[in-house]
Structure 1
Amino acid sequence: MNISKKFTLPSFLGDILGATELQGPVNYKYKDLKSATANFSDANKLGEGGFGDVYKATLNNGKTVAVKKLAILQSDRAMTSFENEVKLISNVHHRNLIRLLGCCSKGPELLLIYEYMANNSLDKFLFGEKRGFLNWKQRNDIIFGTARGLAYLHEEFHVCIIHRDIKTSNILLDDGFQPRIADFGLARLLPEDQTHLSTRFAGTLGYTAPEYALHGQLSEKVDTYSYGVVVLEIVSGQKSCEIKSDTTGEFLLEKAWKLYENGQHLELVDETLDPNDYEAEDVKKMVEIALMCTQSSPALRPTMTEIVVLLKSTGSWVNRPLTRPVFVDSDHKRVRVDTSTSTGSSSSNATASISQFSGR
């Protein structure tokens, strides 16, 4: 498949930005980007990641963009990979995904140029200096928009793209606090003749599914797991790897499961939220969707399209048995797992409970 070839947009125009034909990336000059970032100064640094740092840049035309400096070797193989990935990602257009505007491969470093989000990343609003700013509706919108963006990457784009590193710092917020998934530098394509890839680890422990963190097995369900962890963080305002002083040494996923088993969903809610701002049933629904996404077996986790359907639904689906989630300790890479279910039902029942949702 020639991924750089132009193609006509499918019928779901409401979810896609841009014209009727998708264009390739713009090639920027290294000297212009160096000047636009004030020589990649610390004052313009927006964030740091395993695959490179991101800088705020003001172009000659006055437009503000984000420049990602990739920390990869510029071998012939790396250059080919870079060029292919840029061609692919420049064709990804969706309201809940950060737009890749261009690239630069003619300089001492490989650079990607993205649209700039002034509100920065979700983690700042959950755990940082802006904690307590987001109300329940805004959090609900972020949960839904993130699911919709991932569903597009997995099932609606013309090839399946697995992000690999979904976490709150990779979810940016636009001016209306709608989510935009960022950092496709870790994304790889899933071959059509394989159910999973065996690959080196490229995610963030605490968010990453155990089959990927421990065995390098990659599928779309890795993103589903990470999404479930993010949902719990949005609801609770607690980091996935953080142990609160008022708990008995439990990580967020363990805490959420115990509260779910005891019917105490409301105790998980971020204390900065106004109790009049949300309904108990809405909280229960979000927690159960998160736990559905973090089940031990990838086969039991729903697809992201199924999650979008669940988030839109208002029916009685909440009594389905779930298997206990798995958590990989970020310090010691230990797996915390239990094969029990919340109701004593078999895991095959959980599979059946998900399969009834339409994937399209």
Structure 2
Amino acid sequence: MHSFTTSFLFEMTSLYEHYGSTPGSDGVAFVISSTNKFLNDSLLPGPYLGLFNMSNRSSASRNILAIELGTIMNPKLNDIDDNHVAININSLISVNYHTAGFYTPDGGFQSVRLNMEQVFQLWVDYDGKAQQLNVTLGFPGSPKPKYPLLSNTLNLSSLLPSELFVGFSASTSTLSTRHFILGWSFKTNGEASQLNYSAFVEGYFNFIDLACYQAAGNTKESDWEMNCGPPSFTYKDLVSATGGFKDKMLLGKGGFGRVYKGFLPASKQNVAIKRISPESKQGTKEFASEVTILGHVRHRSLVRLLGYCRHKHELLLVYDYMPNGSLDKYLHGQDKPALGWSQRFCIIKSVASGLFYLHEEWEHVVIHRDIKSSNVLLDDAMNGRLGDFGLARLHDHGVDAHTTRIAGTFGYIAPELARLGKATKAADVFAFGVFMREVTCGRRPVEVNACGEPQVLADHVINAWQDGSIMDSRDPRLEDCVAQEVEMVLKLGLLCSHPSPKVRPGTRLVMRYLENVATLPDFPLNFFNADPANDEVYDQFVASVAAATISLSGGR
């Protein structure tokens, strides 16, 4: 048999992960077979993956090599655990197996969970001359691990004919699990083409937008599921959860549609269900963006998306229920109690933490593009969580975003975004700066003053500073507050919303200021003008802060 190399990106997700437990499915297998005749009654689903029958043997006319990704431990098949990679030949009793993971350059082993909504990359390499089969697991965008997870000497020429069939087989059993093959490359007698995960993600947005647009017409439900992934909930489930979408379950409404409170008996969980109407301002691209991004990121300061559903021309998103609603109701509403400073400061730090995760900590850069108080929801402990990722876009670290359409909310949009339409981390930081001032001052980003003229919140803060006390711009309802913290947040808000994007700090430095790890420099008031000379001044301040941070950490 010829040599070959193949690589593919895959993801295995379990609905139960949202409920605190992670039972797996029977798994996925990369398959090389002497035939493509698998559709007959003797082949079984479940632990047999649609490849074998109860005898656990292939027929004499069908030889199979399967690289198994298993997430259930089946003692009858001698599985080592419920999270393994295995090599199978004509049987699901493996000839070689290992707990899922990869070897580090120093020879150490790093285990991973296959079904934790994480994209992985698997390499399968066969050297026909040496009769050596290697299987390696890793992450897309990272170098292929030096040492394979599995390595076997196998004479595949005696097993498989010169003409063969290559593909995938999987089984979810009865559990709510989804399997995705996100990219695949295969080549005989040479290196398979590298998989560009960044290009895949960018292309996926374009593809899913087109697919969802088509699905909004007269295409079948199965077409939508094929293009956009299987839904996590049935429409019947969500109708039952909301009592038929009764008005008493209504939490709010807007240009996108309505949000209802629901209860899922299976998980004994309250949820929020966004029901997007056909006339909604939130189109299929925004819907797809939210499913794709928010369905994968996991952080305590981000609202969790539990799943979605499509019914006729309706699109429905299911989230964790936030019992205290959105932050803007507490800042600007008349029927909510005023928040104290400790609560507000905690919310600011929480949202900053979530934004830092999106910009720096997740495997890709996520640009939110619509940070504002109405998109910050409060849980039962009044912790702030950033939500509504309908406008969000993602790209690889170290790569510029390609978005050229202006998006966001008036008052929060950075000046360079209004001119160029380019989504950047700096534009998100600008909006976060507006958000910090809004929370501290209890005023909207743009309001009408006593003379009937619009007043920008930044001007209100700067005017108070010019008049001798920036503290005078704070919300008058903030009686017992820590003056040093309030002043720092107001000045940091101005810095984050500086007219020059080069001057704005990154989210890592913002977190240092908020956590009092670094001290905010004492900028003069005129520093906040749109003067290019301020770029150099700020660079000097950043350099001094970095040097101080290094010295404090012992040079590590």
TM-score range, shorter chain: 0.7 to 0.9
Q: Report how far residue 42 of structure 1 moved.
A: 4.1
CA distance in 2, matches of 1:87, 1:346: 39
Query: 319, 327, 337: which one pairs with 2:522?
Result: 319
Q: Which residue of 1 aligns with 2:540?
A: 352
> Does the C-alpha gap of structure 1 residues 304 and 70 become closer, same or farther in structure 2, counting only changes over 3 Å?
farther
**Cα distance, 1:89 vs. partner?**
2.3
Shift of 1:85: 5.2
Deviations 1:206-250 (A, max 9, x none): 112122234311101121111111111111111111134389853
Looking at secondary structure, tell me which structure has more helix per residue: 1
Q: Residue 455 of structure 2: SS of its match in structure 1?
A: coil
Q: 1 or 2 for the larger relative contact order (CA 8 Å, sep ≥6)?
A: 1
Aligned residues: 331
1:67 to 273, 295, 299: 273
Cα distance in 1 between the residues matched to 2:278 and 2:10: 23
Structure 1 residues 252 and 82: alpha-carbon distance in aligned structure 2, compared to 1, 3 A threshold: closer
Aligned with 1:199: secondary structure? coil
- 1: distance between equivalents of 2:278 and 2:244? 19
Q: What is the letter of the counterpart of residue 530 of structure 2?
A: T
1:97 aligns with 2:302: yes
| 3-state DSSP of counterpart to 2:251 | strand
Q: 1:51 Cα deviation (Å)?
A: 4.4
Cross-structure match for 1:109: 314
Gap change, CA 1:4 and 1:28, over 3 Å in 2: farther
Compared CA separation, residues 259 and 181, structure 1 to 2 (3 A): same
Q: 1:305, 1:250 → 2: CA distance? A: 31
Query: Cα RMSD (Å) of the superposition?
Result: 3.4
- Give the 5 Å matches for 1:5-154: 5=11, 21=113, 22-23=116-117, 27-61=232-266, 62-70=268-276, 78=284, 86-105=291-310, 107-154=312-359
* Counterpart position of 1:283: 486
Instruction: Answer whether contact 1:121 1:173 (CA < 8 A) is retained.
Output: yes
Q: Which structure has the greater CA radius of gyration?
A: 2
* Cα pair 1:171 1:181 within 8 Å, conserved: yes
CA distance in 2, matches of 1:235, 1:4: 44
**Contact persistence 1:321–1:349 (CA under 8 A):** no
Which residue matches 2:30?
Answer: none
Aligned position for 2:373: 168
Partners of 1:186 and 1:346 lie apart in 2 by 31
* SS of residue paired to 2:407: coil
Match of 2:421 in 1: 216
Indicate whether 1:339 and 2:530 are aligned: yes
Cα pair 1:122 1:168 within 8 Å, conserved: yes
Report the secondary structure of 1:97's partner residue.
coil
Q: What's 1:300 paired with?
A: 503
236 and 260 in structure 1: CA distance in 2 versus 1, 3 angstrom threshold: same
User: 1:90 Cα deviation (Å)?
Assistant: 2.1
Residue 392 of structure 2 is matched in structure 1 by 187
Contact 2:289 2:392 in 1 (8 A): no
**Greater strand fraction, Structure 1 or Structure 2:** 2
SS across alignment from 1:35: helix
Q: Which runs of 5+ in 2 are unaligned?
A: 1-6, 14-19, 23-111, 118-176, 179-230, 551-555
Conserved in 2, the CA contact under 8 Å of 1:127 and 1:237?
Answer: yes
Asked if 1 retains the 8 angstrom alpha-carbon contact of 2:358 and 2:365, the reply is: yes
- Is 1:226 aligned to residue 414 of structure 2? no
Partner of 1:335: none
Shift, 1:72, TM fit: 7.0
Structure 1: 5+ residue stretches without partners: 8-16, 326-337
